[in-house]
Copies of this chain bind each other. A is one copy, B any other.
Amino acid sequence: MLLQASIDWNLRVHILDPDPEAPCRHLATQFAVGSLLDYDTVYRFGQSVDVLTIEIEKVNVEALEALEREGKKVYPQPAVIRTIQDKRLQKAFYRQHGLPTADFILTDNRADVAGYADFLPAFHKLGRDGYDGRGVQRIASAADLHKAFDAPGVLEKAVDFEKELAVIIARNANGEMQTFPTVEMVFHPELNLVEYLFAPAEITAEVNEQAQQIARQTAEAFGIVGLLAVELFLDKDGKVLINEVAPRPHNSGHHTIRANVTSQFEQHWRAILNLPLGDTDFYQPSAMLNLLGEDGFTGPARYEGLETLLGMSGVFPFFYGKAITKPFRKMGHVTVMDTDMDRLREKVAVVRDSIRVIA
């Protein structure tokens, strides 16, 4: 989607991807296969381009730091990626900068976690390498302590939240910042994946201002150049807390491709190329549903119910071109738009009941 947003501006985009069958291979100006975790691979690739950016945090930061030292433009900056890569550093960063976030304790191993039974219920999160719900365990009570990771992590007090929100913010090298409207995410009860999202969030002006303000403060604290997706909790007392952040285009901004004047992907290009940031206003309220591979199906993907979707107005399916579906694999998403919130919710229900990714 980032590549798609580059086409109208004729940007020459070179991609490094570990998967020789990556769906984007036909869209890039140049496509190289290689590990994002290998120092030499990343370093050599970075030398061949003018500006280097990432779409996933799990990347060799040492190579990015070397490139940055040599004067290469690397956005987001390696120091930002390094902090965000490790949930322990990330949480410590919020505390250090006075940014509101759930209380937490840094833990070294499972035995360490066992000493904090009075801190429960909490979530134990692996410091590094978690992604899309992997690397997170809910520790409701002492009986769950065996589920804690036996590796450096962070024990985070469970927030009794009303809603999960997100604000995507862009910042360019001039320091110009622009937020997208606050969205509301509904997570899959088991998978810890965004199941669907409504934009804008149905929240009070006061809560919205908290969310937008926190996003601005966080982007400024990081000094990031690029996009920062700030995931937030709205607790039962109306207080907004940072859950976690991602320094790149994010699932909570996919609806912006259709619903907003500027998409998150175009905004990322604007930010890292130090262009004026785009207007983030929306044309109509929207929703986004992730299309996950149906449980029980593995193999070449088939999309059931597609004609129903294409027969509806303001319903936009996006398929990611992944050849093989697996249970709960993110295979695409659907954006739904309407001027009326009730009709929007009705459409979302029809879409959810119509489309299945099977094999």
Please report A residues at the B interface, Cβ cutoff 8 Å: 4, 7-10, 23, 26-29, 261, 270, 275-276, 278-279, 281, 283-284, 307, 310-311, 313-314, 316-321, 337
26 A-B contacts (beta carbon < 8 Å): A4-B4, A4-B7, A4-B8, A8-B316, A8-B318, A8-B319, A9-B319, A10-B23, A10-B319, A26-B27, A26-B28, A26-B29, A261-B313, A261-B314, A261-B337, A275-B307, A275-B310, A276-B307, A276-B310, A276-B311, A278-B310, A278-B313, A279-B313, A279-B314, A281-B313, A283-B283
Measured CB to CB, the closest approach of chain B to A55, in angstroms, equals 16
Q: Which residues of B contact A7 (CB under 8 A)?
A: 4, 27
Cβ-closest chain B residue relative to A333: B8
Expressed in whole angstroms, the Cα–Cα distance for A279 and B347 within the complex equals: 15
Measured CB to CB, the closest approach of chain B to A328, in angstroms, equals 20
Q: Which residues of B contact A10 (CB under 8 A)?
A: 23, 319-321
What 6 pairs across the A-B complex have the smallest Cβ distances? A279-B313, A276-B311, A283-B283, A8-B318, A10-B321, A10-B319
Expressed in whole angstroms, the Cα–Cα distance for A276 and B320 within the complex equals: 22
Expressed in whole angstroms, the Cα–Cα distance for A319 and B10 within the complex equals: 6
| Known interface pairs A9-B319, A26-B26; 12 further A-B residue pairs with C-beta atoms within 8 A, sorted by A's residue number | A4-B4, A4-B7, A7-B27, A10-B23, A10-B320, A26-B29, A275-B307, A276-B307, A276-B311, A278-B310, A279-B313, A279-B314
Cβ-closest chain B residue relative to A281: B313
Q: Which of B28, B278, B283, B320 meets A284, CB within 8 Å?
A: B283
